[in-house]
Amino acid sequence: MAITNERQIYIDGKFYPKSEAKVSVYDHGFLYGDGVFEGIRAYNGIVFKLKEHIDRLYRSAHAIMLNVPLTKQEMTQAVLDTLRKNQMKDAYIRLVVSRGVGDLGLDPRKCPKASVIVIADTIQCKDSNSQETGITTIFSWVKRNPVDATTHEIKSLNYLNSILAKIEANAYGVDEAMCLESNGYIAEGVGENAFIVKNGELFTPPTATGALSGVTAEVVSEIAKKLGIKVTITNLTPFMLFTADEAFFTGTAMEMTPIREVNKRIIGEGNPGVVTKKLMSEFQKVISDPTQGTKI
C-alpha cells in the first residue's frame, strides 16, 4: 500500500508513488551504468537554467549513442509536470535517461527503448554553514577517467569514479575530494567544478582534460566577467591550489561553496575571501532572477 503524501516519480509517462517506483533488474542503467542524467534546481517556482541542463543531457546521450525517446520540449514538460504533481516550488530534480530493459549481455541493441525517469525531491550535500566557513578537501588517489575512456565530459550513470573518491574523503574525515586527471592536473571535485582565485583573477581547469562542463560554473564565470574579474581556463596543479588566495567549488547540488583547506594546507586566510564572497552574493541574485530559468 502506498504511503500518503509520498513523492510522485515520473517513469516513462506515468507517475508512481516513491514506494512503488521501480525499474527492471534487466535495465542496462542498473546493470551497467548505461545511461545519462542531470541534476537540476528549482528556486521559488523557477527551474534554474532548465534549457541548458536539457541541452547538456542530450549532448551526453548523443555521445553514447543513446536515443532519447522524448523531444527536448517533451522532456521539459515532463520536468515541469513532475514538479507540479509534487506541488514543489523549491526542489532538486534528478532527470535520468537509461538505455532501458535488455538482457544480461552488454549489447545495447538488445534494449529496444530508453527509459526516462524524473525525480523531484530535496538534497543536502553540504553543512548549512559551509558558505560561511568553507569546506575541507583532499586530493584523491582516484584519477579522473581520461577523455578517450568514459570521460566525465559525459554526465553518465557510471559514477563509480566519483564514489571511490567520496569514500576516500569520508575515510579521511574531510568534506569533499578533489580529483586529478591522468597527467596530474586538477580536474574537478567528485561532482563539482573547481576554481581558484589568485591576485584577484579567476582560474579554472579546462573540460578538455575530462571534467564536466558545468552549468553553474558557466553562470559563475559570466558573473565574474560582468564584475570585471578576469577568468582564465588553464591547467591547474596541486601547488597552484595550495598557494591560491581563495578557492571554491561550483555545482547544481553544491551551488557555490568556498574551500578552506586541501590536504591540511590552509587556502589563503582560511575563510571565504573577498572575490569568493562577492561572487556568491551575485550568484544568489542570479538564481533569484525569474528570467534565468523556466517557470513551473
Q: Which pLDDT tens digit goes with each residue over 170-229?
A: 999 999 999 999 999 999 999 999 999 999 999 999 998 889 999 999 999 999 999 999
169/248 same-domain check: yes
State the pLDDT at residue 123: 87
- DSSP per-residue codes, 231-290: EEE----HHHHHT-SEEEEEETTTEEEEEEEETTEEPTTSS--HHHHHHHHHHHHHHT-G
Q: Which pLDDT tens digit goes with each residue over 98-150?
A: 999 999 999 999 999 999 999 999 988 767 788 899 999 999 999 999 999 98
Answer whether 26's CB lies under 8 Å from 276's CB.
no
Q: What is d(CA 178, CA 278) in angstroms, rounded to the nearest whole number?
A: 24
216/76 same-domain check: no
198/281 same-domain check: yes
Is residue 248 scored above 90 in pLDDT? yes
Number of domains the chain contains: 2
Q: Is residue 295 part of a domain?
A: no
91/148 same-domain check: no
Mean pLDDT of the chain: 96
- Structural domain including 257 reads 130-287
State the pLDDT at residue 4: 63
Is residue 44 scored above 80 in pLDDT? yes
154/92 same-domain check: no
Mark which of 59, 93, 121 sits at the end of a domain. 121
Supply the CATH number for residue 72's domain.
3.30.470.10
178/267 same-domain check: yes
State the pLDDT at residue 125: 72
State the pLDDT at residue 209: 86
Q: What is d(CA 154, CA 195) in angstroms, rounded to the nearest whole number?
A: 20
88/178 same-domain check: no
Mark which of 121, 144, 172 sits at the end of a domain. 121
Which residues share a beta bridge with 121? 92
State the pLDDT at residue 131: 87
pTM: predicted TM-score of the whole model, two decimal places: 0.95
